[in-house]
Amino acid sequence: GEYKIVVTRKIPDESLDMMKKYGELYIWPEEEIAMPYERLKEEIRNAHALYTNVGDKIDRELLESAPHLKVISTMAVGFDNIDMEYAREQGVAVGHTPSVLNETTADLAFTLLMAAGRRIVEGAGYIKEEKWKSWGPMLLTGQDIYGARLGIIGMGRIGEGVARRALGFNMDVVYYNRNQKPHIEEEMGVTYCELTELLQTSDFIVLLAPGSEETRHMIGTEQFQLMKESAVFINVSRGTNVDEQALYKALKEGEIWAAGLDVFEEEPISASHPLLSLPNVTAVPHIGSASIATRKKMAMMAAENLVAGIKGEKLPFEVQA
C-alpha cells in the first residue's frame, strides 16, 4: 500500500490482517520488550499511522519527527503517555479502546482487593518456602471483606463495576469523583463522600482516577495519614497518581495495612524497588485489562481506529479530551 503503519509490539494476527490491506506494516517483533524510543523515532519518520500502547512514550519530540502522521491508535483506554495537545495541534487523530475493558479491569481491582486483604500471595509463598509448620490461631490473618466499607476514588465505568462486585460482598460503598453521580447512587445505593472522609473511614480504598497532571501524586503523605491503620489501598489506575515514597513509608511504618498495586510510577518497576521488599505489598505488572478475550477485542478496536484514521474517516473510538 501507499501508507506506512508502525506497530510497536507483536499483536494478535487478526488485528494485523485488518491493517495489512491499508499499508506497509512495520512490526516490532517483540511482545514483552518495548520498541526502543530511538528506533521508534526512526521508523516513524515516514509513517502515516502508529499503533501503540501504554509502554511507549509518544511525546512532542517523537511527534516532531513524524511529519506524515495522520493517526495514533493506542491499545489502551488511558492516553497519558501521549502528548495530546501537540497531536491535536498537528491534526493527528488519536484513538483508544474504552468500555471494552471495564469489567475485566474491575475484576482485577477486586482480585487485588481480596488478595491483599487476605494475604493470598504471602500465604502461597509461605507454603512454597516451607515455612508452614502447623495451623496457627493468628497465622496469616487478614482483613474481612464481607461487610467492610469500600471507598472508590474515580467513579467512571470501571468504578461502577467495582461497586457492583462489592455489593455482592455486602460492602458499604462510598465514592469520590469530580462530579457527583446521582443515577449511580440511586441505582446501586452507593454514597458520595468528600475525599477526606472517604480516606478516613474506608477499610478498602480503590484508586481509579485517570492519569494526568492534575491527578499526579493525588495520594501522598497527607492522604495516607488520613487512612485507617487497617486500610488496604488498591491502585489500578496510573502509578503517577500515587507518591510511591510516601506509600512505602506508610506501609513500612504501619500507617496503612497493605497495598495491592497493578501500576507504578515507573514501569516496569525494578525488582529491587523498596516497595517490593514489603510483605504487605501485592504487586502485578499492569495487567488490569489482561484477559485473553478483552485483549483480543482491544487489539481489534485499535486496528479499527487506525484504519479509519488512514482513510481520513472519523475514528470509531476517538479520544475525547
**From 208, 219, 283, 300, residue interacting with ligand GLV (rule: CB under 6 A):** 208
Among 12, 55, 123, 210, binds ligand GLV (CB under 6 A): 210
Site string for ligand GLV, 129-158 (x = CB under 6 A): -------------------------x-xxx
Q: Is 238 a catalytic residue?
A: yes
Query: Closer to ligand GLV at the Cβ: 23 or 158?
Result: 158
Residue 288 grid coordinates: 488490569
| Residue 173 binds to ligand GLV (criterion: CB under 6 A) | no
| CA angle (286 as vertex; 285, 290 as ends), nearest 5 | 105
31-60 residues near ligand GLV, rule: CB under 6 A:
54
CB contact set of 91 (below 8 Å; sequence gap of 6+): none
Residue nearest to ligand GLV (CB): 156
CB 72 within 8 A of CB 82: yes
Q: Is 239 in the site for ligand GLV (CB under 6 A)?
A: no
**How would DSSP label each residue in 181-248?**
-HHHHHHH--EE--HHHHHHH-SEEEE-PPPSTTTTT-BSHHHHHHS-TT-EEEE-S-GGGB-HHHHH
Residue among 237 and 305 whose Cβ is closer to ligand GLV:
237
Rank residues 153 and 308 by Cβ distance to ligand GLV and give the closer one: 153
Find the binding residues for ligand GLV in span 96-135 (CB under 6 A). Answer: 101
The beta strand positions in the chain, using DSSP E, are: 4-7, 24-27, 49-52, 71-74, 93-95, 149-153, 172-176, 191-192, 204-207, 232-235, 258-261, 281-283
Cα–Cα distance measured from residue 272 to residue 121, given in angstroms and rounded to the nearest whole number: 18
Whether 267 is catalytic? yes
In whole angstroms, the minimum distance from the beta carbon of 17 to ligand GLV comes to 23
- Least separation in angstroms between residue 167's CB and ligand GLV is 17
Report the distance separating Cα 90 and Cα 181, nearest Å: 35
Q: Which of 52, 104, 235, 289 binds ligand GLV (CB under 6 A)?
A: 289
Q: Are 279 and 116 in contact (CB under 8 A)?
A: no
Name the site residues for ligand GLV (rule: CB under 6 A).
54, 76-78, 101, 154, 156-159, 208, 210, 237, 288-289
Supply the residues annotated as catalytic.
Answer: 238, 267, 286
